[in-house]
Structure 1
Amino acid sequence: MGATALLAAYVGVWATVAPRGFYESFPGFGFTWISIDGPFNEHLIRDVGAMYVALGTLTVAAFFARMAAAGRLVGLGWTVFGCLHFGYHALHPEGGTTDRIATLLSLGISLALGILLMIPPRRESERPPTAESGFPARGATGPVR
């Protein structure tokens, strides 16, 4: 969940607080992926930022809720968004070859993080014993101290 929340904070805060800079410089590191897609639209950039902040907030809330269902629901939201976002960019490639590859790679990672959040955690009864439970961890040798 941590990587997903960091992604949301990076995109969301930047787009919300500095929409013009986001438009001209996102994702940073010498790339410019937004400005090549059309004229600046502050409203649209701020809305995208707000959506990322909202998804990030839900991600952090799900982590602290410590409920598997909350994590899976947040993962579902990220996965739906990730599929649609990836699909758009796959069908509308822009920029040079490096930009296209980097865009699809970053969006693929974001989509994969959403999918990973939907995978239910192993139940306690399915986990291998650990030192805290009084049993040696799988592959451990010697007495548990």
Structure 2
Amino acid sequence: MNPGHIKNWLRGGLLALAALQTVASVWQYAFPLSFYDDFPTVSLDPPYNEHLISDIGGLGLALTGMLYFAAWVLDSKVVLSALIGYLIYAATHFTFHVRHFDHFSLLEAVGVGTGLGIEVVLALVLVYIAWRVHRAESAGHRDALR
């Protein structure tokens, strides 16, 4: 597989993550009560806190901006930093939910766990691809300096 083809796949993956994060973050930030009341299973969490939800939405928007920028410039260091940040967020979010299914039905637990797990797996795959691209670019750059 040529590097240009791999970068196209990497860009597509970054844009997919950014789009998913955009939807949730804009909803959390701009309409926190609606997010709490209407997003499936959120109302099963502890009581509503507008400040907390809107702050989380703002942080998600910051992460979204990083993912879009990484997809635009496709600099391997920028891509890796955006993906590592996203992976940390996705993994901690997944971990919280799989440890707090007390009030969830089996279907809700499977749905939430699967959806959040897919985000973690996609981020891990993209980190691996981005790392390979970074190593290949770094090796090519060293060869060009000789």
What is the TM-score with the length of structure 2 in the denominator? 0.75
Q: Is the 8 A contact 1:77 1:114 kept in 2?
A: no
Structure 1: runs of 5+ lacking an equivalent: 27-31, 125-145
Residue 116 of structure 1, CA deviation: 2.4
What's 2:84 paired with? 76
Please state how far the C-alpha of 1:56 moved relative to its aligned partner: 0.7
Amino acid at match of 1:7: L
Q: Deviations over 1:12-61 (max 9, x none)?
A: 001111111000011xxxxx211111211100110111111111100011
CA-atom RMSD in angstroms: 1.5
SS of residue matched to 2:55:
helix
Instruction: Give 2:80's aligned amino acid.
Output: R
Aligned twin of 2:115:
106
Residue 33 (str. 1) matches residue 41 (str. 2): yes
Between 11-20 and 91-100, report the one with greater CA deviation: 91-100
Question: Counterparts of 1:86 and 1:72 in 2: how far apart (Å)?
Answer: 20
Alpha-carbon shift at residue 8 of structure 1 (Å): 0.8
Contact 1:74 1:117 in 2 (8 A): no
How far the C-alpha of 1:83 sits from its partner, in A, is 1.5
How far, CA to CA, are the matches of 1:9 and 1:68 in structure 2? 22
Q: In the alignment, what sits opposite 1:42?
A: 50
Kindly indicate which of the two structures has a greater share of residues assigned to helix: 2
> Does residue 61 of the first structure (1) align with residue 69 of the second (2)?
yes
Name the structure 1 match of 2:96. 88
Q: Which residue of 2 aligns with 1:3?
A: 16
Bigger RCO of structures 1 and 2 (CA < 8 A, at least 6 apart) = 2
Helix, strand or coil at the partner of 2:104 = coil
Following the alignment from structure 1 to structure 2, what is the Cα–Cα distance between the partners of residues 21 and 38? Answer: 15
User: Identity, % of aligned pairs?
Assistant: 28
Between the two proteins, the alignment pairs up a number of residues equal to 119
> TM-score, length-normalised on structure 1?
0.76
Per-residue deviation, 1:113: 2.4
